[in-house]
Amino acid sequence: GMSTLPTCELTEGAHRPICACDSDDGSSKHVAAVSDGDTNRGGTAGTAENGADKDEETQAADDEEEENEEAQAAALARMQSISRGFAEAKRKGVPAAIRLMKELRQVCLTGSLDIDLVDDSLQVWEVKLFDWAFDAESSLHRDLQALSDATDELVPVVLRIHFPDDFPHSPPLLYVAKPLLKSDFIFDGALCMEMLVDWQPTYGNVEAMLVQICAFLASSNARVGGMAAVSCTGTSSSSGDIELKPVTQDGARKAYERLKAFHEKKGWSNRHR
């Protein structure tokens, strides 16, 4: 049931994403840190060792400043996308528009989740869950770290959420879009969770829903497709062996229909809740 929310390792980590709903405080502090680094630039000539240290400090400051600028540009792009999405939803008269903006703001304020609107639609969210969103002891956490190391870039679990016009009265369609996850409780991207299969309007707190999903994915022994075989041999001929193909919205919808029919007959065990 929903009475007890499992905790999720949503730590801020070194790669904390900036969301459009973040306050400016974090950014200004970051800029201040970069400015402090700038004081190390342009020092007088010293020993070769000191000169090398200065060069490293200057490079580090430059890298940090560039990273900060990219993060702020991404946050601005998100903010503009959300603004367009809300305006379009209001123009169409979508009843859930204000509720979805409220939910989006609440999730953004946690600062732990990376969320974008798909094609500027307030009703279609893409949520990126990086390795630090999952229990450090979980197989999924280790798989994502290994895959990120192999590809030299952060690889997240990407969720797609399609919200109906009358959310939360009707359920959202939520599924793992990529990478392909293998688990006894994941079918074509659909998650075998009572909360998602047997929806109730009281489940409409999206932040709480995402926290539960993080815990569910970590505890369900979900593995990135292909990683289980790699971990057994300890080798992989190439990163192309890892299955990164996305699932489809239609496939996930049909999977939820099958899950609903199954559990209407069989009921729910505590494991699925």
- CATH number for the domain harbouring residue 262: 3.10.110.10
On whether residue 208 sits in a domain, the answer given is yes
On whether residue 15 sits in a domain, the answer given is no
> Read out DSSP for 90-135?
HHHT-TTHHHHHHHHHHHHHH---EEEEETTEEEEEEEEE-GGGS-
Which domain, by its residues, includes 160?
95-272
And the tokens for 107?
């999730």
Residue with tokens 């041999």: 233
Q: Do 64 and 192 share a domain, yes or no?
A: no
Structural domain total, the chain: 2
Whether the link from the prior residue into 95 is cis, omega within 30° of 0, is no
> By the 8 A CB rule, do 59 and 74 touch?
no
Q: Do 109 and 89 share a domain, yes or no?
A: no
On whether residue 7 sits in a domain, the answer given is no
Q: Do 230 and 111 share a domain, yes or no?
A: yes
Q: Do 254 and 132 share a domain, yes or no?
A: yes
Specify the pLDDT at position 227: 66
Q: Do 35 and 115 share a domain, yes or no?
A: no
Specify the pLDDT at position 223: 93
Q: Do 114 and 40 share a domain, yes or no?
A: no
Q: Do 40 and 82 share a domain, yes or no?
A: yes
Q: What is the DSSP letter of 20?
A: T
E-state strands within 223-273: 223-224
Q: Do 228 and 247 share a domain, yes or no?
A: yes
Last residue of a domain, one of 62, 93, 124: 93
Specify the pLDDT at position 37: 42
Specify the pLDDT at position 55: 80
On whether residue 13 sits in a domain, the answer given is no
Give the Cα separation of 199 and 207 in Å (integer).
Answer: 16
Q: Do 76 and 139 share a domain, yes or no?
A: no
pLDDT mean values, one per 10 residues, the chain (273 residues): 39 42 41 41 54 76 84 89 96 97 91 90 97 94 94 93 97 94 91 91 92 94 72 40 67 90 83 51
* Stated pTM of the model: 0.72
On whether residue 166 sits in a domain, the answer given is yes
- Residue 57, judged by CB atoms within 10 A of its CB (0-12, 13-18, 19+), counts as middle
Q: Do 165 and 56 share a domain, yes or no?
A: no
On whether residue 4 sits in a domain, the answer given is no
Q: Do 46 and 29 share a domain, yes or no?
A: yes
Q: Do 105 and 168 share a domain, yes or no?
A: yes
Last residue of a domain, one of 93, 115, 149: 93
On whether residue 209 sits in a domain, the answer given is yes
CA 204 to chain centroid, in Å, comes to 18
Last residue of a domain, one of 76, 93, 110: 93
On whether residue 9 sits in a domain, the answer given is no
φ, ψ (nearest 5 deg) of residue 154: -65, 125
